[in-house]
Structure 1
Amino acid sequence: MKIKLYYDKDCPFCKKYAQILKLKQNHEVSIFNARESQEDILFFKEKGFDINEGFIIYIDEKEILQGSEAVIFLDKLSEKRLFLVDTWFFKKIAYPIIKQIRKAILLILGKNPNIKF
């Protein structure tokens, strides 16, 4: 399986998650800073995915997942699974809160929380 992960390198939460994520060895994983991947991000935007709504993964250049669904997918592939990720609570409450905290932290750090091309 070939997985491309697009995330906001300026976001401390996204950056840390991308660094600590350890996927099973039978997957080819590439990690891209969305702020430096204009062409790909525009491609996803045409398909209805906005990088500002959460990181994006592109699986085998066929399937696109974003936000909580992307986190759940990656968690299922990782060697150390996170507690409560694949739950209604994470999808509907925790993940939206995490997105808002991300935006606030980026503003505090003097960075634009929205990626625009």
Structure 2
Amino acid sequence: MTQALVPVATTARPDTQPEAGREAPWLVYDRDCPFCAAYVKLLRLRGTVGQIHLIDARGGGPEVERIRRVGLDLDEGMVLQLDGRLHHGEAAIHALALLTTPSGVFNRLMRWVFRSEARSRLLYPVLRSSRNAALRILGRSRING
């Protein structure tokens, strides 16, 4: 099953508040996954998208319910909501790569690797498998049990 839902604009708004009637961007990820948590911590998004809400997928809430309602599986990938569109899995990491600042070695590397949709599609299953292995090793459950 492919994760890509919709293309994302490659330009970011310079303002820090969403446009009138627009929801602020948010990212739902697994905070219990050491790789996911480190990735989100190291990304520098606020400089390009302004305020972004980081949401733990295990904590529930309206964003998690929305994701489930549209049939996306959080065990299969994080979800980025940007400009009203949901980006899941490989599409989310691709969109994040396009939005991250080029400062720092980590961000430059992530931007270079995942700005390509083909590389994102190829590498995301490896990242997901690594997450699942890390959760098993640490004795943590998947989000959906």
User: For the superposition of Structure 1 and Structure 2, which TM-score range results when normalised by the shorter chain?
Assistant: 0.7 to 0.9
**Partner residue in 2 for 1:89:** 119
Greater strand proportion: 1
Partner of 1:3: 25
The one-character-per-residue Cα deviations of 1:48-103 (angstroms, maximum 9, x if unpaired) are 2111111011124x211111111111111111242221331331x21101101110
1:74 aligns with 2:96: yes
Q: Percent identity?
A: 28
Question: Residue 26 and residue 58 in structure 1: after superposition, are their counterparts in 2 closer, same or farther (change >3 A)?
Answer: closer
Q: Which runs of 5+ in 2 are unaligned?
A: 1-17, 19-23, 103-107
**TM superposition outliers: structure 1 runs of 4+ over 6 Å:** none
CA distance in 1, matches of 2:134, 2:74: 17
1:115 has 2:115 as partner: no
The worse-fitting range, judged by mean Cα deviation, of 33-42 and 15-24 is 33-42
Normalised TM-score (structure 1):
0.86
Corresponding residue pairs, total = 114
- Alpha-carbon RMSD across the aligned residues, in angstroms, is 1.8
Which whole-Å CA distance do the structure 2 matches of 1:57 and 1:26 have between them?
12
- Distance, in Å, in 1 between the alignment partners of 2:114 and 2:52 is 21
Q: Give 1 or 2 for the bigger CA radius of gyration.
A: 2
Residues 26 and 70 of structure 1: CA distance in aligned 2, closer, same or farther (over 3 Å):
closer
